[in-house]
Chains A and B, each alone.
Chain A
C-alpha cells in the first residue's frame, strides 16, 4: 500500500482520532493520545495494513513551549510498507496507553523513553528505568533538564554551555 492508501484506510476507520498537522512530514500521521491503543491494535491486526514490526520508538522534546512527543516507526514485513505515528503529550502530565502487549519490543522501547523523558505508558507491566540507575532524578533528554548535583556522593559534572558555533 502507498502512504496515501494507508492514511486513507486509517482515516476511514478512525475519523475523529487523526489530527491534521501541517508541520508533519508526508510519512507521519498524528493520532490523538487517548485513541492510540485502539488505532495501534487496528494497525497491527488489520489484514490490509498488518504492521507486524515496531521498528523504533523515539521520544522528542519539541522545546519549552511545545509538547513532548512519542514517535512510533511501524513497518509491515508482509507488505513492506511503513508509516510513522506521532502522539503529542501534555508537558505537565505526559501519559499514553502502552502498546507493550501488541509488539513485545515495545516493552523495552517504552522503558527507554520513560527513562529519558518521563512519559508514562499506562498499562505497561514493568515500567521502570532501563539505562539510568533506578534512583536517578529527573528526565535527562528533556530540554529543561538539569542534572542533580551529586549522586551517592559522586559529583555530577555539568555540561558546559558553549557559545558561538560559527
Chain B
C-alpha cells in the first residue's frame, strides 16, 4: 500500500462484492469520490490449472478447461480441442464440426445473456436480469438434454463429441430460436434504450482503440472500441468460414466510441449474429457418426502449437507443448478476461467509484478464467 496523502483514501472493493463477479479485490485509491488509481489483486480462485494439466493425460485436461470459464464451458472446450487437433493434424467428421459450432454459439448466447443481465443488475436494473436468466435457462436445458450437464459439460473431445445430438434436438432448437428472437426486442425496450441506463453508460469508461490493442483487450470489448477483429472471421477455425454473419462494432451511438454502452451494445448485436449462425448450421447439419474420427490413442508428436479461438469474452488462446508422451509438457491458457481486467486501472482513473463498477461490469470478466 502506498503513502496516503492529503485527502486521499484507500478503499477495498471485494474480495466478496457482488459487482466483482467472482472473488476479486480492487484496491482503489480515491480523492473524495474520484478514483485516482486501481490495483487489482487476483489469485483468490487460482486452482493451478496449468500445473494440473502437466500431471494428467491430454483428454483429462478437458474437464479442467470447463472450470476455467464456467459461463462458456463449450467455448473453453472448443479452444482446447481445436488446438489439440491442429497439433495432432487430424481431420474431423462433418457432423462433429456442425454440432460443435451449434453448441459453441448457443453457449455464446447464454454467456452474453448473463453478461448483459448482470450488467443491468450492476447499474441498478433488476428486472431485465430475470428476463435474460429465464431464456438462458432454456439454453442450459438443451445442453442438459444433450450431454447431461448444465454448466460443466466436458462435451467436446479430441476428434469428436461425447454424445450425439438427441433425435429431436433440431426441432427443439429451432423452436427455441423462434421464441428467442422476438425477446431481443423486449430486452432492448426494457434495458438498452432506457434513459437511465444510457445516462449511466454512455461516455463512461472510454477505451480508445490503440489502448485496447496495447492492453491485449479482445472480443466484444475490442469491437466496442471500433476495431473490426473477430477470430472467427480473421483466422477461421473449424467451419466458421462457411457461415454468413456480420461482425458488429461499436459506433458511439449515444456517446463516444468505445464507451461502456458500446461494449454492451456489441454484445447485444452479437447475440443476433449467433442466432443467425445456429440457424444456418441446423439447416445444413449432416448425418454421420460422431465417434468416427476420434483417435483411439492420443499421442501427439513432439512439438508445440498456439491456437486462439473466439470465446464470448475474446481471444482464448491455448499454448500446448508436447514431447510425445501421453501427458502434455506445458499447457498455457491465454485468458481474454485476464487481459481485459489489466486495462481497468488506466480506463477508470478519473471516474467516480460508481462508474468504476459500471466499467468493470462492461468488461464482462469471469474470475475463474482470470485466476485459472
Interfacial residues, chain A to chain B (CB-CB below 8 A): 25, 52-56, 58-61, 71, 73, 77, 80, 84, 103-105, 107-109, 116, 129-133, 140-141, 159, 162, 165
Contacts and interface: CB of A to CB of B under 8 A. Distances in A.
A73 B213 contact: no
A131 B372 contact: yes
B332 A56 contact: yes
A55 B315 contact: yes
B346 to A, nearest CB: 7
Contacts, number: 82
Contacts of A54: 216
B48 interface: yes
A105 B50 contact: no
Interface of B: 42-43, 46, 48, 50-51, 54-55, 57, 210-211, 213-216, 227, 229, 234, 303-304, 306, 308, 315, 317, 319, 321, 325-327, 329-330, 332, 334, 338-339, 342-343, 346, 371-372
B215 A105 contact: yes
A103 B215 CA distance: 7
Contact of A108 (B54, B213, B339): B339
Contacts of A129: 43
Contact of B57 (A60, A61, A84, A165): A165
Nearest to A102: B214
Contact of B326 (A25, A104, A165): A165
Contacts of A130: 42-43
9 contacts: A56-B319, A60-B329, A71-B319, A105-B342, A108-B339, A131-B43, A140-B51, A159-B55, A165-B326
A52 to B, nearest CB: 5
A107 B51 CA distance: 22
Given A55-B216, A60-B330, A25 B303 contact: yes
Given A53-B216, A73-B317, A131-B43, A105 B339 contact: yes
A56 B319 CA distance: 9
Contacts of A73: 306, 317, 319
A131 B303 contact: no
Contact of B342 (A107, A116, A159): A107
A104 B330 contact: no
A19 B188 CA distance: 56
A40 B138 CA distance: 49
